[in-house]
Structure formats: C-alpha cells, structure tokens
Amino acid sequence: MIDLSGKTAVVTGGSRGIGRAIALRLAEQGADVCISYKGNATAADETVAQIAAMGRTAIAVQGDVAEMESAKALIDATLEGLGRIDILVNNAGITRDDLIMRMKPDDWNDVIDTNLSGTFWTIKAATRPMMKARYGRIINITSVSGQAGQMGQANYSSAKAGLIGLTKATARELASRGITCNAVAPGFVVTELTKDLDEKLLEAIKAQTPLGRFAAPEEIGSAVAFLASDEASYITGQVLAVDGGLVMM
C-alpha cells in the first residue's frame, strides 16, 4: 500500500491538469502538499481547497520556475510553511509548437527555460534540504515527445529529452544520500489542452496507441505516487512510460 503519511511534497505547475491530479493523489495517500503556479490564482486556490478537504495541509506559491530565484523561493516557502520537503515533482511546462524553419527564438528559449532549466533550478534548490535529511524522492514529468520526438515540437521534444538526461545525472549524483530521481513519461492525456483537438486527430492518436485511448490525469498521478513512495525505494534513474504502449523502448 502506498503510504505517504508524514511526507511533504512540492508539485510545480500543480494548479491544473496533470499537476493537479498529481497533487491530489499525493494528498490522498497522506502527504501535505505545496503547489506552485504561474498565473491562475483561482485554479491554485481550488486545488488547495480540495487538498485541505482531505485533512491535509496545502499551500500555493506563485512564481516562475524558469527563474532561479523563483525556484529557490518556492522551496524556501515550502520549508517555512510545511517544515520539510520529502517529495519534489517537476511538472511545470509549456508548449510553443511550430516547425523548425518557422520557430521564433523566443519560442525555443521559453520552452527550454521553463521545461528543462526550471526543473534544474528546482532540483538545485531542493538538493540541500534533501541531502541534510538523507532522504528524497524526485520525479520529473517528461513526455513521449522526449523519447520519440514530435514534428512541430523541436523545442518541447528537446526539453523533455533533456529531462531524461537530467533525471539520470541527478539519480547518480544523489543516490548516496538516500535520494532517488525518476521520470514519468505520459503519452496523450485528457486535459484542457487536448479536449479541443480535432476529432479526426483524436481518433488517429487513439489508433496509434495499443490500448486505444487517452490516459486520465489520475493515471499519471498514480505512477508518480508509486515512485514517491517507499514501495519504489530501490528504483532510481528510470523513465516510467505511462502512454498506453505508444512508445515501446
């Protein structure tokens, strides 16, 4: 049984979509949770309220993890508000899709800065308190786009592939201090971003997926909860695909 009682988790980009599902699942298993959000305070407050309704302690911190000082402030706020940090889930991410020949420099830089550098800054900030405690669970949300590449997503695929390398390097560097680092690679998930896709495209994606459907955000949350638990204490440096069989490596 996954038991996160007494643990404290940070989930970046935790106010909506996959991030919210992860935060709620960790809380269901007993963790107190700090979520970060960039702009939607209403959604963040709703997530905090849902977690509080479970009897857990929850806080929301506004900021942009792409900025090193903001990432540090998030970890500092967690330590101040919740007393410790046991679990870090790097979920915050953005997309700025376009073909390579048309992609603007800002669209490349913004995606790399948020999805890859933002994860690095947050890990960097969390490393010292986790090392001091000699315990930690770091889970990075990568993507099938980082494993197989995706047309029109050179920036996103590069950032998500970079997260896999960052995951493995972090796992090697921190293992001796009782800290694991793994990644979850979702396939296509039912969120606000996918619900408005063209019906023909949706059917084409389902046809490419052996299980024949999109994932629910809660299924990503379940994978993260497992990796955050002591049930996964001997797993580190791994990429867990939650994609219905879309990418088999």
Checking DSSP bridges between strand 58-62 and strand 87-90, what pairing results, if any? Answer: unpaired
User: Among residues 108, 109, 100, which one has the least CA distance to residue 152?
Assistant: 100
Beta bridge partners, 37, equal 62
Query: Can you give the pLDDT at residue 198?
Result: 66
> Both tokens of residue 140?
């990075």
pLDDT of 191 strictly over 80: no
Kindly report the three-state secondary structure assignment for every residue of 49-110: HHHHHCCCCEEEEECCCCCHHHHHHHHHHHHHHHCCCCEEEECCCCCCCECHHHCCHHHHHH
In this structure, the dihedral spanned by the alpha carbons of residues 194, 181, 115 and 95, taken in order and rounded to 10 degrees, is -10
230-233, Cβ contacts within 8 angstroms, sequence gap of 24 or more: 230/3, 231/2, 232/137, 232/180, 232/182, 233/180
Which tens digit of pLDDT belongs to each residue from 17-72? 999 999 999 999 999 999 999 989 999 999 999 999 999 999 999 999 999 999 99
pTM exceeds 0.85 = yes
- The question of whether 234 is a catalytic residue gets the answer no
Query: Can you give the pLDDT at residue 212?
Result: 80
Which tens digit of pLDDT belongs to each residue from 91-101? 999 989 999 99
Which tens digit of pLDDT belongs to each residue from 23-37? 999 999 999 999 999
Q: How far apart are CA 193 and CA 242, in angstroms?
A: 18
Query: Can you give the pLDDT at residue 204?
Result: 78
Residue 96, CA atoms < 13 Å, CB-side half-sphere: 18
